[in-house]
Structure 1
């Protein structure tokens, strides 16, 4: 399809769907964008044509981005594949391991259609270089990985719809899939052992069984990994990635080795970045931000050389780093379009996403079992949710 525009459908026009629409519009190979949502009262301020049904949408497009609630993913994937469309689905790929098994058979029936999963975090500029460092042996033997995702969902869970806050929405499937994917992608295998601990403290209106989850993993190469995710922290959204090796340390896109910090990625491309300061929006050239960050790193290297080993100073948590969510998501969108136009591979396909689903399900079962033992009452995962997919 190199010589023609690719028409895109988006099913689900909440926060994720609108963001996908904006990023598809940034790609020059995309033609029209057609959206559909069960709700007819969603305001759309972008260049999107609105269909009155999924069937009407499918008649007009070549590929579909599925941004519906997690428990609707399999149904929507099935509908789109059977209509002959390429599919990009938001994470988590599906809502259970049984659904993943069913999807595997479904994909085997449609081998010529592209299928991609929007696990974007591994492609955040601050994170994506670490896999290369591990493969090249820059860190040497990796013994510890930590990836966390803190996200106050008290507002976000009901901003577009309340499906996240209803019974049955899984924090592990919806949030922990991010750090799980990061860790599995770095190590290259699944853990031999893992234990999960859950808590229901905070966000009392959240109807799910737990609001935070901590998982510790052990891999057969000796690496230990830890993740923590929550929906109730009193803090801005926070994603981090730490990888410790016996000859170097990676922290959110910065390498520390031989007593020196080295920035591994250019966090900002061309153009400008908007920063909201209370009621004032300031637009700063991204290259200027990059220059300022390099200057900051130089200062931190000087401080590190002078103060890191000084017993009387407590300097910690440097260097400051940047997590560029938008760049990661744009990478996923552009790759999906490129895979269709040029018949290239997708960045994240079924196999990578399936192993994340497997760990999610095992971790949640383990955490709920421990919760039941601790609380002395049933803490089973709620598998039935209100059927709002039709």
Structure 2
């Protein structure tokens, strides 16, 4: 099998900690270019991974040897750069949220189809062991009818994680468009769609009350209804000052599933007959522990391209998860429940 030749566009924290090392670790990949408008960042990564540095992504897209690109840029650049790459004949792995509007998402999907190239959105929660096991249990019918859920992703904020700290694009509305909802909420929206199917309605309360000098959301609580009538809550926050929480609880007719809700056990099955099953699975990744963990996102993308398979989170899937977040923002603005159909 010939190696997939990739370029990473954007050398901020997500590229440094996830994309570049995971591409490097994949034996079927050759990193042929890295790109960042800050030349020192690109050069540092190029030196570290023995590749070439660029400061203009359009120069990278002209390289005939590049098969695929990772788009690791601020939110407002996800769509335009992905579309340019697809139109240049490159496969694209784009960071989440895939876009900042429905129109942008539609254009990305259309560009992938027109050029017959893979478009994958880098949602990683579907690859977490506890989440995959939970889907298996739910699909088996063991829990019976699902009634409700609550899912939460919160941490102290991007200041410690982003390469630019408190001055990061994460806090600039014109570059981020959305804050905790785009950073964390969209992950949980994608997870709940994976576990429970598509959603039909969303209502929300969204605030900017934890961070100073920003007008993007930092606290959000949403109420959601699936097309099958399951109701629950989704919370996204940059206000969890003592550490992160990335857990989900699913309530069914026969019992409850606790995902990433216990420090020791990644998944706990609790049944109304008193039966409890505790699973020790590999931990969900965290930005805090400093440990290198494989997200499986890059490996799945590489396999999808090399074996010409549909990615698990293609453009359509990424768009449906984005729609929940866009709907939640619209709900906050209009003070109404928003239909997602």
TM-score (norm: length of structure 2): 0.85
Q: Which residue of the other structure, out of 262, 284, 299, is the alignment partner of 2:277?
A: 262
Q: How many residues align?
A: 313
3-state SS of paired residue (2:48) = coil
Q: Does 1:92 align with 2:97?
A: yes
How many Å apart are 1:158 and its aligned residue?
A: 5.2
Give the root-mean-square deviation of aligned CA atoms: 2.4
Q: C-alpha distance in 1, partners of 2:37/2:27?
A: 29
Q: C-alpha distance in 2, partners of 1:332/1:354?
A: 17
Structure 1 counterpart of 2:207:
199
Q: Does 1:165 align with 2:171?
A: yes
3-state SS of paired residue (1:238) = coil
TM-score (norm: length of structure 1): 0.75
Deviations 1:115-174 (A, max 9, x none): 111111122122222122111101111111111110211623753362111134202223
Compared CA separation, residues 86 and 154, structure 1 to 2 (3 A): closer
Structure 2 counterpart of 1:299:
none
The aligned runs of 1:1-390 (5 Å cut-off) are 3-18=1-16, 19-42=18-41, 43-44=44-45, 46-49=48-51, 50-58=53-61, 59=63, 60-111=65-116, 113-153=117-157, 155-156=159-160, 159-160=163-164, 162-168=168-174, 169=176, 170-171=178-179, 172-191=181-200, 193-208=201-216, 210-252=217-259, 253-257=267-271, 258-264=273-279, 266-267=281-282, 326-327=293-294, 329=295, 331-370=296-335
* Structure 2 unaligned regions, length at least 5: 260-266, 337-341
Structure with the greater alpha carbon radius of gyration: 1
3-state SS of paired residue (2:147) = strand
Compared CA separation, residues 28 and 154, structure 1 to 2 (3 A): closer
Compared CA separation, residues 250 and 89, structure 1 to 2 (3 A): same
3-state SS of paired residue (1:128) = helix
* Structure 1 unaligned regions, length at least 5: 269-274, 282-323, 372-390
Q: C-alpha distance in 2, partners of 1:97/1:197?
A: 21
Q: C-alpha distance in 2, partners of 1:74/1:154?
A: 22
How many Å apart are 1:79 and its aligned residue?
A: 1.3
